[in-house]
Amino acid sequence: MPITTLTALSLAARLRAGEVKIAEALDAYYAKIEASDFNCYISLCREHAYARAAQVQARLDAGEARSPLAGVPIAVKDLLCTRGLETTCASDMLRGFAPPYDATVIEKINAADMILLGKANMDEFAMGSTTETSAWGATKNPRGPAHVPGGSSGGSAAAVAACEAPIALGSDTGGSIRQPAAYCGVTGLKPTYGAVSRYGLIAYASSLDQIGPLGRDARDCAALFDIIKGRDARDGTSMAYPETPAKPLRGLKIGVPKEFFGDGLHPEVAGAVLAAKDRLVAMGAQAGECSLPIAEYAIPTYYIIACAEASSNLSRYDGIKYGHSSAKAQSLRETYILSRSEGFGMEVKRRIMLGNFVLSSGYFDAYYKKALQAKRLIQDAFTRAFETYDVILGPVAPTTAPRLGESLSDPLKMYLSDIYTVMINIAGLPALSIPCGEDARGLPIGLQLIGRPFEEATLLAAAQAYQNAAGGAQ
C-alpha cells in the first residue's frame, strides 16, 4: 500500500516499527503535492520538515516515540502562527508575514513529534465557504475537481482527501471544518469552545472560532484531538479538559431535529443521512424525532455576531505595525484607507462593512443586541434537547459541493450553505462530520453528529463504530 494512502495512525505504526522512515514519507507526500493541481497549499515547509524529520527519526530509532502520531506529517491551515514561517491567512494583507512565535497547537504538535508539511490554503481570513476567496487562488475538490472543496478549511480537507497529507488542522467558526470535510469525503471534528487553545490563531470571530482536526477517519481525528486539547494560560477562554468516558453506541439516544429535514435539503443528502441514522439504530442506538424551532434564526444570528467580531478583529490591519502598507499613501488617513483597500479581498470587505453597520449607533440594539439574545435562545434549545438525547444527528450541508464559481456570484446562497453548522458554534458545542454516502455524481455526503460540551469522546466513538461497520472511511 502506498505511503500516502495510509491513515495517520497506520503510518505512525509503520514509522515506529522501522518499516518506513520519516524522510521517505516526506518524499512521498511532496512528490504527490508537486504532481497535483488541486492547490491545497499556500506554502510548503520542506527545509523545516526534513530538519525536524532527522531529529524525530533519531528518537524513533531509540524507541522514544513521544506520541501515537510521532513522525507523522501534517498540513496546517494558514491562519495558525508558525514561528519564522510565512503565515498569510490567504490574504495579500499578510503576504510575507512570518510570526515571531508559534500558536499553542503548533507547539503541541511539535512536542508530539509531528512534522509540518506546509500551510494549507483557505478562504481569506477564514471568510467563505468554498476556499475561493484566497489570494492564492481557489482549491479544487479532489473528489470532483470542477467543484469547490468547501471552506474555509478547504485546503486542509482537500489535502487529506487528495492524499497530500495524512492529517490536518483547520479552524471552525461556523462550519469551516465540518463542511469541507463533508464536501471532500473526510472526517472533521469541531471541538467544544474552549477545549483547544486559540492562542496564535489569527482571529475571525473570537467567540466562535475553534481549532480542530481533519483526518481520514474518526480514529485519526481522536488521536490528534488528544494532542491539541487542554487549558492554556495564554488563552483565557480555554479550559482544562474533563475526561468524560465515551457512551457506548448500544443504547445511545440520538435526536433527529425535524427542522433539519425541511425545504432546502436536497433529497439525496436527506436520504443518505437518514440511512446512516438507520445503520446506527441497527447497531444498537435509539433514535427519535426532536425539535429545534430556533433553527430558522441561526443564519442571521451567526452572521451578525461573526461580522461584528470580524470588523473589530480586523481593525488592527491598518498599514502601520505589520501587514500590507500602501506605497501610494501620502498621509496617515490614506495609509489606513489604501492599505486596507489594497490588502483585503471583496468578501472580507463585505463582512467588515456588515459588522460596522450592526455595531453602529442606531442599529446596535436593532441587530447586534437581538443577535446576542437569539444566541442565548439557541443555547437553551440545545440544552433542552440534550435533556432527552445524548447526540443530535443531521446533515452537514443542504447539498453536496457546488461547482467552482457558483457561490461567489451569489453570496447569500453561500451563507445559507452553513444553515446546519452555525448553530453549533453559537452554542459552543462539539460536532463531527463523517462521510455517509455519495450523490448521483459521486460527490460525498456528510453526516453531522452533535454532542454535549466536552463529550467529543462519545461522538468519536459512535463515528468510529459507524466507520468500522461500513468498512472504513467512505
- Catalytic positions are 77, 152, 176
Question: CA-CA distance, 249 to 453, in Å (whole number)?
Answer: 18
The answer to whether 144 and 185 have CB atoms below 8 angstroms apart is: no
Element (H, E) at 101: none
Alpha carbon dihedral 336, 318, 358, 263, in 10-degree steps, equals: 110
Q: How far is CA 11 from CA 27, 69, 160, 255, 355, in A?
A: 14, 8, 14, 36, 45
Cβ neighbours for 254, distance < 8 A, ≥ 6 positions apart: 277, 280, 281, 285, 286, 287, 288, 389, 390, 391, 392, 393
Angstrom distance (rounded) from CA 68 to CA 91: 34
Kindly list the distances between the CA atom of residue 111 and the CA atoms of 68, 185, 240, 348, 388, in Å, as whole numbers in the listed order. Answer: 12, 29, 19, 34, 40
Three-class SS state of 394: strand
- Dist. CA 343–CA 409, nearest whole Å: 21
By the 8 A CB rule, do 412 and 303 touch?
no
Q: How far is CA 253 from CA 192, 198, 450, in A?
A: 20, 32, 12
Residue 333, classified by CB atoms within 10 Å of its CB into exposed (0-12), middle (13-18) or buried (19+), is exposed
Nearest residue to 142 (alpha-carbon basis) of 33, 277, 254, 290: 33
Length of the chain: 474
Give 87's contacts (C-beta < 8 A, 6+ positions apart): 78, 79, 80, 81, 94, 97, 98, 99, 119, 202
Cross-strand pairs, 212: 170
Alpha carbon distance 214, 222 (integer Å): 10
Backbone angles phi, psi at 316, to 5 degrees: -70, -15
Q: Pairing state of beta strands 167-171 and 211-215? A: antiparallel
Per-residue cell: 236: 483565557
User: Whose CA is closest to 342, among 128, 95, 122?
Assistant: 95
The answer to whether the peptide bond before residue 152 is cis (omega within 30 degrees of 0) is yes
